[in-house]
Amino acid sequence: MLVIIREDFEDMSREAGRLVAERLRRKPNLILGLATGGTPLGLYGELIRLHREEGLDFSKVTTFNLDEYVGLPPEHPQSYHHFMHENLFRHLNVDARYIHIPAGMATDVEAHCEWYEEAIRRTGGIDLQVLGIGANGHIAFNEPASSLGSRTRVKTLTLQTRQDNARYFGSVEKVPRYALTMGIGTIMEARELLLLASGEGKAEAIRAAVEGPITALVPASMIQMHGRAFVIIDRAAASRLEHTQFYSRSLEEAVIQRRNTGRPSTVDS
Ligand code: GLP
């Protein structure tokens, strides 16, 4: 796991943008896992800028989103379909046929979840999965006590998550009770993970995920088991980390540190 601590949200977003852009330049038909929420918005802004100013090409990219609220149609302003379209897809040249987001209105939910897993498998698997983190340590909508080997399925949202997301809906009652989400097992199969977190409100979740024990009570702690996980966070989100000697300020610094300590020079683990 490579932990990179940046100054603030903008700085975190730029660093994450550099990483995603580098992967995309290396593999134009990248299979990219995407997340929703306030945290990846800066990264998405950065990708849009790179597309506009530097011609970063998304035409061959396939995307898979982590999750969607059950019962919200794609055109609902709070659906993740709507979020992704508004905040990313409509600004890029992504081919609509290559976009995948779980269908919150699916009638046969189980069959849909199986189809989603199969669709990921058919592409050869996700190359890079972007992740946020819930204040309670959830990733996607895998709430605490989710099975660490779970696959795409329906999850009941905790009251804390519904309260956290109430700001988007106006009131907690309006936040759906269920969501479709990739499982932790599904996420762990991505070849690389990129976890982002910003602000004091995420500091405890980041401490538990990065330095705490691996436990289903903090689903994000599973990233410790991944061979190629990048955790790019800002100072505020890093404020409760204790073992800062192991962390870096940039991807380059991480490479240099590894060289100096005689460890492999590739940015890994
Ligand atoms: C939701 C999403 C998660 C996201 C989390 C944090 O619950 N399902 O994928 O990581 O919110 O959101 P934010 O980035 O807005 O804090």
Residue of 13, 36, 157, 164 with the most ligand 1 atoms within 8 Å of its CB, for mutation: 36
What pLDDT shows up at residue 255?
73
CB 20 within 8 A of CB 12: no
Task: Flag whether pLDDT at 218 surpasses 50.
Answer: yes
- In the numeric block, which tokens belong to residue 28? 């134009």
The Cα–Cα gap between 38 and 197 comes to 10
The Cα–Cα gap between 63 and 99 comes to 5
The Cα–Cα gap between 66 and 173 comes to 23
Q: Catalytic residue among 11, 15, 46, 67, which?
A: 67
* Residue 44 backbone dihedrals phi, psi, to 5 degrees: -65, -40
What pLDDT shows up at residue 116?
98
End-to-end CA distance of the chain: 4
User: Residue 162 C-alpha to ligand 1 middle, in angstroms?
Assistant: 11
pLDDT digits (tens, 9 = 90+) for 33-46: 999 999 999 999 99
- DSSP letters of 45-107? HHHHHHHHHH----TT-EEEESEEETT--TTSTTSHHHHHHHHTGGGS---GGGEE---TT-S
User: Residue 140 C-alpha to ligand 1 middle, in angstroms?
Assistant: 7
pLDDT digits (tens, 9 = 90+) for 129-142: 999 999 999 999 99
Q: Name the residue with the closest Cα to ligand 1, atom 12.
A: 37
The Cα–Cα gap between 185 and 153 comes to 11
Task: Flag whether pLDDT at 265 surpasses 70.
Answer: no
Collect all residues with Cβ–Cβ distance below 8 Å to 217 and sequence separation of at least 6. Answer: 137, 144, 145
Q: Name the residue with the closest Cα to ligand 1, atom 9.
A: 140
67 part of the active site: yes
User: pTM of the predicted model, to two decimals?
Assistant: 0.95
243 part of the active site: no
Q: Where are the domains of the chain?
A: 2-260
The Cα–Cα gap between 237 and 5 comes to 9
The Cα–Cα gap between 9 and 106 comes to 35
Residue of 69, 133, 178 with the most ligand 1 atoms within 8 Å of its CB, for mutation: 133
What pLDDT shows up at residue 251?
85
The CA–CA distances, whole Å, from 89 to 13, 44, 61, 210 equal 17, 9, 11, 31
- Please state which CATH class domain 2-260 belongs to: alpha beta
**Ligand 1 binding pocket, CB closer than 6 Å:** 35-39, 66-67, 132-134, 140-141, 161, 165
Q: Name the residue with the closest Cα to ligand 1, atom 11.
A: 37
